[in-house]
A and B are shown apart, each in its own frame.
Chain A
Amino acid sequence: MGIARKAIMTIYTQDEDLRSLVQARPVPTKVGRVGVGAATQSGELSVDEVLGSAPAESSQENGQGGGWGSASADDELGNSAGESEESVQEASLQQLLARQSPENNAETDLENLDGYESSESRAGRLTAHESAGEAEGTWIPDAGSGAGISAENQEFLPVLAKLATSLALPAGQALVGAIRSKLSRRTQRQLQGLLTLPRRTGAALLQGGLGGQLSGIAAQLLQQAPSLLVGGESGFEGQVDEAAVEEAVQVLEVIIGSDDRVRIQATQDIHWRRICALRITFKNGKVYRGTGFFIGPRTVATAGHCVHMQSQGGWAAKIEVIPGANGAARPFGAVLSGEFRSVTGWVQGQQPASDYGCIVLPKGSFKGGSQIGSFGFSSWPAPALTALPAVLAGYPGDKPFAELWGMSRKIKSVGAKTLTYDIDTVGGQSGAPVYIKKNGQRYVVGIHNYGALSGNSATRITPGVFARLKAWSQL
C-alpha cells in the first residue's frame, strides 16, 4: 500500500502525492523553471511539449517546441483566479462552432484520417440551412414516405412507423422506458443534443445532417424523443414487447448513434507516439485495458483508477506500457513498471475529480524517454478551455487491442475540477490526454477518466494538478 506524505500544496490537499512503493523517497514539489515552461510571474502555469529524438514522420510538425530543458517564456495562458469552486462554464453554440486558426486548432491533428469530418464541415451544414430560412417551429420535417432514408436502413421503416404511432399510448411509454435503458450513452446523448438545440438549428441539423438518412417517420419518432429521455411512470402494467424494444434500439443506434472516432495509424508520429496502450494487472490477478501519455522522460500520466483501485486491492501489481502501439505493432517496444503515483484525493478519498496518477518507468526505458518526447500540460482558465477544439485519443476496448482512436470537439462545460465533452469514448480510454493546441504547441488540459450519458469527463488540470504533474514529470 502507498504511504501518505505530508501535503505540499495547501490549497489542493487532495493532490498530495501518494505512491505505490513502500519506501518513500523525496519528490520534487516546488514549481520552478526546471523543465520546459514554468510558472510565470503572474501565476500562469504550463509545461511545453517535448518532441523526442525519434524521426518525426509528420508533415504537420515544424520543428518548433524545442527539446527538454529549453524554456519557452511565451506561453502566457492565464490562470483560474476568479472562478469559484462551484462555477461551471458552458460553451455557447457560437463558441462550439467558431473556426480556429490551424496553430490553435488541435483538430488539425486528425485531418486526412479516414472517416474524419471537420467541425467546419459540420458547422457549414448548420449555417447553410440556417440561412436558408427555415421557419421557426418546424424543426421536425413532415412525416413522409421515407424517400430520404438510405437503402441499408430501409428495413427499419416498419419499426419506426410502429414506434411513432404508439409512443403516445400508455403501452408506448413503457416501451420507450425499456428502449431508453438499452440505448448506448452516445445515442442517448445525441438525442438529448438534438432536443436541446434551438429549434431552427435542430431543423438544420435534421435536414442537413441527419435529414439525408431519416425518413419522415424517423423524424416523427425523434419528435417524441423527449419521452425516451425523460421516461416516467406510465401506469402501464402490461408486458413490453422485448423484440420490439431490441429492434427499436438497433434502429436508433444505427441511424442516430454515429461513431465519430477515427483510427490513427501513424502512431510513430510525434504527437501520437506519446500516447500509450496500457495493460494493467492488479494484485488479485484481474487485468484491465487503459491509456496513458508521456509527460516526462520516464513519467506516463493516466487516470488514478488505472494505477489504484480500492476494490481490486489497491495499487496495481504491474502495468505494461506500450507507446505508439498500433495493433500488434510496438514501434518503440514495451516496458513493464511496478512504480505508480496518485494523490490522496483519489487513493484515500475516491473523489472522481482527483482520479489521476502516473506510472514511473524504470530508468533508461525507451532510451531514457528521449525517443518518445512528452506532452505539454497546462492549467487554463475556463473561457480559454471552451474556446479551442480539444482532441482526445486513446485505446478503446471495443476495438482490437492497441488500436489508437481519436476524436475532436470543443469542451462543452468546465467545472472547477472537471471538464465535460461530447467526445466519444469507450472503456479502455481512461487516462487518455485531452489536449488543445495554442500557437502550434499541444497542451494537455485534462486527463480522461469517466463516461456518462450527460457527457464524458476528465480531471481538469487545475493549478494543484499542474503542480503535481510537474513534480512527477521530473522524476
Chain B
Amino acid sequence: MAAILTGEVFDQHSGRALEGASILLASGPGPAADICPLSGADGSFEISGLAPGRWRLRVVLAGYREGSVLVELPPAGVRRVSVGLVRG
C-alpha cells in the first residue's frame, strides 16, 4: 500500500503561495525516491508512493528559514499538508 502526500507552501507572513521550494523527505518508515519536488506557482507539491507511517518533511527555499513538518500518512489515499515559511 502506498500513500500520496500533497500540500502547499506559503509565506507565513503574507499568506502568498511560494514557488520553487524544495520538498525533502528527511525521515520516514520506508525508502523514498530521491527525486526533489518543487512547489509550483500555486505553492502546491505532490509526493507519491510513500509507505504509511510518520514522515518528516523539510521545505527549503532561498530567502526563507527552513520549514519542517511531521506528517502521519495513512496506508493508502491522499494526505494534505500546508507549510508556512518565515523570511530570514
Contacts and interface: CB of A to CB of B under 8 A. Distances in A.
Interface stretch (A19-27, A181-189, A376-384): A181-189
Contact of A451 (B22, B32, B40, B54): B32
A303 B33 CA distance: 9
Given A285-B40, A286-B40, A286-B46, A450 B22 contact: no
B27 A450 contact: no
Interface residues of B, number: 28
B46 A311 contact: yes
Contacts of A426: 24, 34, 36
A305 B35 contact: yes
Contact of B31 (A286, A352, A397, A398): A352
A400 interface: yes
Given A311-B49, A453-B27, A427 B56 contact: no
Nearest to B39: A287
A7 interface: no
Chain A residues touching B, range: 35 or more
Given A426-B24, A450-B31, A451-B31, A398 B60 contact: yes
Tell me if B's interface is mostly helix, strand, loop or mixed: strand
Interface string A437-451: 000000000001111
A285 B34 CA distance: 19
Interface in A341-373: 350, 352, 355
A311 B76 CA distance: 13
A186 to B, nearest CB: 9
A430 B25 CA distance: 13
A181 B60 contact: no
Nearest to A452: B31
A441 B57 CA distance: 39
A289 interface: yes
Contact of B33 (A430, A453, A454): A430
B4 A311 contact: yes
B73 interface: no
A456 interface: yes
B85 interface: no
Given A181-B27, A188-B27, A287 B40 contact: yes
Nearest to A394: B34
Interface string B1-41: 00010000000000000000011111110111111111010
B24 to A, nearest CB: 5
B86 interface: no
Nearest to B27: A185
Interface in B38-56: 38, 40, 45-46, 48-49, 54, 56
Tell me if A's interface is mostly helix, strand, loop or mixed: mixed
A73 B62 CA distance: 49
B24 A427 contact: yes
Nearest to B45: A286
Contacts of B25: 427, 451
B70 interface: yes
A473 interface: no
A428 B34 contact: yes
Nearest to A285: B40
Interface string A194-236: 0000000000000000000000000000000000000000000
Nearest to B36: A397
A453 B4 CA distance: 20
A303 B36 CA distance: 12
B30 to A, nearest CB: 7
A374 interface: no
A457 B32 CA distance: 10
A449 B36 CA distance: 11
B38 to A, nearest CB: 5
Nearest to A427: B36
A424 to B, nearest CB: 11
Closest 3 CB pairs of A and B: A397-B36, A311-B48, A428-B36
Interface of B: 4, 22-28, 30-38, 40, 45-46, 48-49, 54, 56, 58, 60, 62, 70
Interface of A: 181-185, 188, 280, 285-290, 303, 305-306, 309-312, 350, 352, 355, 396-398, 400, 425-430, 448-454, 456-457
Given A181-B27, A428-B24, 11 more contacts: A181-B70, A184-B26, A286-B45, A287-B37, A289-B22, A398-B24, A427-B36, A428-B36, A450-B32, A451-B25, A457-B31
27 contacts: A181-B56, A182-B27, A183-B27, A185-B26, A286-B37, A286-B45, A286-B46, A287-B38, A288-B35, A289-B38, A290-B35, A303-B34, A311-B4, A397-B23, A397-B24, A397-B60, A426-B24, A426-B34, A426-B36, A428-B22, A430-B35, A430-B36, A449-B34, A450-B31, A450-B32, A451-B32, A452-B31
